[in-house]
Amino acid sequence: MKPLQTIKIFTDLPEQVYEQIEAKIHWRKYQPNAEVIQYQEESTDVYFVREGHVRATMFSYSGKEVSYQDLFAGDIFGELSAIDGLPRSAHVVVIEPSTIGAMSRKDFMEAIHAHAEVSKAVLIRLTGVIRSLSDRIYQYGALDVKDRVRKEILELSLQHMSGPNTAVIPDMPKHLEIANRINTHREAVTRELNTLSKMGLIEQQRRVLTVNDVAKLSALLPKL
């Protein structure tokens, strides 16, 4: 498989097109804590994660980190500035060793105009971002901290189902990472996870979290 075929927005391209687009991408390896994009930076390249893990994050005036998207192999970022030409809307930092490709705004827009498959994939990607942010707004407005923690664990569970009603999350985020995602503090996350453990809903061994009853965890959340 060509490196470009691992990127989601390019998976449906005709075989002969891959080399044309691949020639316009410059790949580079990044180590943890490297900053790929800075908030309000006036750059417009689009980035593609071939392997690794990066995080889009923001910082409050007091220095508190608020994370809103983790990106893995196959994902892209930086497309907003490529589309509208405005400064970057977030920091993007490397979490694990990563291989990331960069494409100029000009080449990215040409790919969108020339290939309907790419255009459709980018639209689906942006729609997903909007839905995710809408859900995040709902969480902040309608759920208390306890329920935000539960919803975060439920979403992770649904991504790692191991049976009809059980899940095994193999690389459970640290409590501080969860806190940054849901705009709370680490102690609140730890407190709620201890509560779920006492209820028998979860068990954790090192970084592996087992959810024993996904349906019951879901039932704990308030209904819309």
Most confident of 4-8, 26-30, 62-66: 26-30
Q: Taking every pair of C-alpha atoms in the chain, what is the biggest distance, in angstroms?
A: 57
For 34-70, write each residue's pLDDT tens digit: 999 999 999 999 999 999 999 999 877 667 777 878 9
Phi-psi category of residue 78: left, alpha or beta, with phi > 0 → left and psi -120 to 50 → alpha:
left
Predicted TM-score of the model (pTM): 0.77
Tell me if residue 165 falls in helix, strand or coil.
coil
Q: In which band, very low, low, confident or very high, does the pLDDT at 1 lie, cut at 50, 70 and 90?
A: low
Percentage of the chain lying above the pLDDT 90 cut: 74
Phi-psi category of residue 176: left, alpha or beta, with phi > 0 → left and psi -120 to 50 → alpha:
alpha
Does the pLDDT at position 224 exceed 70?
no
How far is Cα 162 from Cα 160, in angstroms, rounded to an integer? 6
CA atoms within 13 A on the CB side of 11: 11
For 157-191, write each residue's pLDDT tens digit: 999 999 999 999 998 999 998 998 888 899 999 99
Locus of tokens 């059980």: 166
How far is Cα 174 from Cα 153, in angstroms, rounded to an integer? 12
Distance of CA 101 to the CA centre of its chain: 17
